């Protein structure tokens, strides 16, 4: 580690010494005004040089692991020593468990058949072996706490399925230079999710015989490489998967608020949206409607969702509050509500937010059920 620090300091001083000369030359050649110490156009090359020696130029965001694996830095994912579960972690998990139970009751009052939260494990949870020496995964996982306080079985733990699949396939389930799972990893997680759902619902689901790896192609580096400005230097491997069902799955994407058709054809992965997007796939396995609150981990999972349900209303959970969620439920009238969230973000305020009151009519009058810290209080 000390050797890397000395290399970093030496190169930084050398860069400062020669940078004015380079910039003066650039000004003359390109006839552009530049400061003597501008490094914008040199940063990718500088960062690549440091990367070669295992030095991250953005150490607060990206860690360079073994075999050139990159990891996102976050306080709950990687620490210098295994962290102890503190009181706030447990309190957050308890509040989320209570809120989850309240939302399940609220959804059922609106006629929704089932509610599930799918956890997308952090990359280091599934691939801790490539972390740098001295950096260990958090032994007290965020997901462990959430599952401990989930008394309803709404949370789907995909970790064991992904860890088991590591030995089943020769290709990784997560990108090497990106923080997300790839198409194959998303399938393994989706399969774990539908296995959990199948225990409660009589539906048709995709199976391994419907999923085929076509090939593995190369593309530029992912989001972690982008933070280091190394996209053009680092190569990522894309696992291309084909969903083979009796009927070809083709989708139509509509702006839900205006009902305007945005695109149609094929079954592409869909980025998380800040405005509700309705995806229709008439040849899906089940003629059911799903409200899917998701993040970027839903992108690789979206083709599997479209192949399973004929209508999927998608929106990023971070832009959803109880008022908007109520509006979407009442206007779309989904059969199911699913949430997909990456492990490191699964304790955000959204998951502790309580639902609106449940109002029901009885012969004696109106009964209103309000939630306070997860407990239902009946007000006559």
Angstrom CA distances, 332 to 312, 324, 329, 337, stand at 10, 12, 5, 11
For residue 39 the two structure tokens come to 């490094």
- The pTM score is 0.85
Convert the pLDDT of each residue in 215-256 to its tens digit.
Answer: 999 999 999 999 999 999 999 999 999 999 989 999 999 999
Closest CA to 301 of 208, 162, 190: 190
Convert the pLDDT of each residue in 300-342 to its tens digit.
Answer: 999 999 999 999 999 999 999 999 999 999 999 999 999 999 9
DSSP sequence for 338-350: EEEEEGGGTTSGG
Task: Assess whether pLDDT exceeds 50 at residue 84.
Answer: no
Query: What is the pLDDT at residue 22?
Result: 46
What's the rounded Cα separation, in Å, for the pair 129 and 125? Answer: 10
With beta carbons less than 8 A apart as the criterion, state whether 225 and 183 touch. Answer: no
Query: What is the pLDDT at residue 87?
Result: 79
Which of the residue ranges 28-37, 98-107, 194-203 would you say has the lowest mean pLDDT?
28-37
Which of the residue ranges 22-26, 61-65, 84-88, 218-222 would you say has the lowest mean pLDDT?
22-26
Say whether 52 sits in a helix, a strand or coil.
helix
């Amino acid at each position: 580690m000390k050797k890397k620090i000395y290399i970093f300091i030496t190169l930084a001083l050398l860069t400062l010494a020669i940078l004015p000369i380079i910039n003066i030359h650039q000004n003359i050649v390109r006839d552009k005004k530049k400061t003597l110490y501008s490094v914008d156009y040199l940063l990718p090359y500088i960062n690549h040089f440091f990367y070669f020696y295992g030095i991250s130029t953005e150490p607060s965001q990206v860690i360079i692991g073994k075999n050139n694996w990159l990891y996102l830095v976050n306080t709950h994912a990687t620490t210098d020593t295994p962290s102890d579960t503190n009181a706030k972690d447990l309190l957050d998990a308890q509040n989320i468990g209570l809120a989850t139970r309240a939302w399940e009751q609220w959804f059922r009052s609106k006629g929704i058949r089932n509610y599930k939260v799918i956890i997308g494990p952090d990359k280091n949870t599934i691939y801790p072996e490539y972390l740098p020496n001295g950096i260990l995964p958090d032994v007290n996982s965020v997901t462990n706490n959430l599952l401990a306080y989930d008394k309803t079985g709404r949370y789907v733990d995909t970790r064991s399925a992904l860890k088991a699949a590591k030995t089943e396939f020769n290709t990784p389930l997560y990108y090497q230079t990106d923080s997300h799972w790839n198409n194959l990893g998303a399938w393994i997680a989706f399969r774990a999710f539908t296995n959990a759902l199948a225990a409660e619902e009589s539906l048709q689901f995709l199976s391994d015989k419907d999923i085929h790896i076509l090939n593995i192609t190369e593309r530029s580096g992912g989001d972690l490489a982008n933070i280091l400005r190394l996209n053009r230097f680092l190569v990522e491997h894309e696992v291309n998967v084909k969903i083979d069902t009796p009927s070809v799955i083709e989708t139509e994407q509509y702006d839900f608020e205006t009902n305007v058709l945005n695109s149609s054809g094929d079954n592409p992965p869909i980025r998380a949206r800040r405005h509700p997007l309705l995806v229709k796939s008439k040849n899906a396995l089940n003629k059911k409607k799903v409200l899917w609150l998701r993040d970027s981990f839903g992108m690789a999972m979206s083709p599997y969702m479209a192949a399973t349900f004929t209508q999927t209303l998608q929106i990023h959970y971070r832009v959803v509050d109880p008022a908007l969620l109520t509006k979407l439920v009442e206007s779309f009238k989904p059969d199911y509500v699913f949430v997909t969230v990456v492990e490191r973000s699964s304790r955000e305020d959204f998951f502790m937010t309580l639902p609106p009151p449940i109002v029901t009519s009885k012969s004696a009058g109106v009964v209103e059920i309000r939630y306070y810290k997860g407990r239902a209080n009946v007000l006559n």
